[in-house]
Structure 1
């Protein structure tokens, strides 16, 4: 099916250092030609904090022994580590016929659909890219009921998103938390939001295998990014 749809070439790269993968994405994007096939890289990183291009140092609270790597993606600081599925779509948006806003929408839709396969309801928060869950009832409800002055009150972030576009071509991507050590998120203000709680599927009571979730996310992304 994917060949008919001209889906991105899928690569499961296993556990790779972040800086090595970052360099490879930049090199791939700089060297690609008009007819270079799109690719979708699925990886897992050793523990690392990555700081977006607009990242502010005050969002790094106590990083300790975990390295901080500057990045040219959008957004602030986030954490990558074992048990997290990271997807890097290397997509020619001009050839696909969409703009960056639609691209981000499709990335988030793929995550929402992946979570739905496990019975978890994920949703967007306006102005805060990524996917969130209702901590009080992640399997049955959307946004918490009642008035909320804090837009993140009662929410947990389960997937972070940060992208870069160069000459209409994307790199970086989306990270979905499956079965992680979440403690390092307490050493930062995740994505620049003080007090924002970060969760994974295990926190929500879902005993999911990261490799299985990785293949589900890859399938959904392949559908949304096919032409």
Structure 2
């Protein structure tokens, strides 16, 4: 299967959210899948099952947007690699649970390439720092990537967010994914100095492999 990768730079969350919804509503069985790679200005997003009280320390500078993905509250901001997956699951021959598993594996494999062992946690979608040598104890079990998806007409949108060089203070204003006391970390804090463009290239390679996409045609919309 083919997919078109669009690099969107720093993109307004509300406009991007509306564009994802419109793309999914208007697509048909011949529409080429798309993968959007971007960053957002600071924003909190609250999923369908979310409890707004999990934003325990609101900020006048950071808005909160209610959205139609699964999951709880999370934060998006500069230095966080966001990848939206607009895929026809029926055409790919997979269900949403399998999609989640494959996205998680792509993230685990990506982090492994940069020397970080990461893992899943049952009942807590996302990717977490695993027990490993030469890793500060405070970051074992910390969340480094989040997932949230919506499926409509067998087509997915929303996607994943990997913390590369992110404002961790903003995560301190929420109970990430509804879990009080859950620590959040980024790759920079773990000592990884590669820039977000390099990390996105590696992640896209692993997504291509795990999602059985035999060709990613890239389009740079940031210029």
Return the TM-score normalized by structure 1: 0.89
Verify: 1:30 aligned to 2:25, yes or no.
yes
Q: 2:92 aligns with which of 90, 96, 99?
A: 96
> In structure 1, what is the Cα distance between the partners aligned to 2:66 and 2:134?
36
Deviations, residues 160-186 of structure 1 (Å, cap 9, x unaligned): 000000010000000000011110000
The count of corresponding residues between Structure 1 and Structure 2 is: 212
Q: How does 1:36-115 map to 2 (within 5 A)?
A: 36-65=31-60, 66-115=62-111
User: Would you say the 8 A contact 1:121–1:139 is kept in 2?
Assistant: no
Q: CA deviation at 1:17?
A: 0.6
> In structure 2, what is the Cα distance between the partners aligned to 1:85 and 1:161?
12
> In structure 2, what is the Cα distance between the partners aligned to 1:154 and 1:107?
21
Verify: 1:132 aligned to 2:128, yes or no.
yes
Deviations, residues 97-153 of structure 1 (Å, cap 9, x unaligned): 01111100010011011101101111000010000003x647679xx9xxxxxxxx9
User: Would you say the 8 A contact 1:190–1:196 is kept in 2?
Assistant: yes
2:163 equivalent in structure 1: 177
1:218 equivalent in structure 2: 204
> In structure 2, what is the Cα distance between the partners aligned to 1:44 and 1:221?
18
Question: Counterpart of 1:85 in 2: which secondary structure?
Answer: strand
Q: 1:194 aligns with which of 171, 180, 194?
A: 180
Structure 2 spans left out of the alignment, 5+ residues: 215-223
Question: Counterpart of 2:120 in 1: which secondary structure?
Answer: strand
Structure 1 spans left out of the alignment, 5+ residues: 1-5, 145-152
> In structure 1, what is the Cα distance between the partners aligned to 2:133 and 2:153?
39
> In structure 1, what is the Cα distance between the partners aligned to 2:167 and 2:91?
39
Cα RMSD between the aligned structures? 1.9
1:15 equivalent in structure 2: 10
Q: CA deviation at 1:223?
A: 2.2
Return the TM-score normalized by structure 2: 0.90
Deviations, residues 28-47 of structure 1 (Å, cap 9, x unaligned): 00000111011111110000
> In structure 2, what is the Cα distance between the partners aligned to 1:138 and 1:220?
25
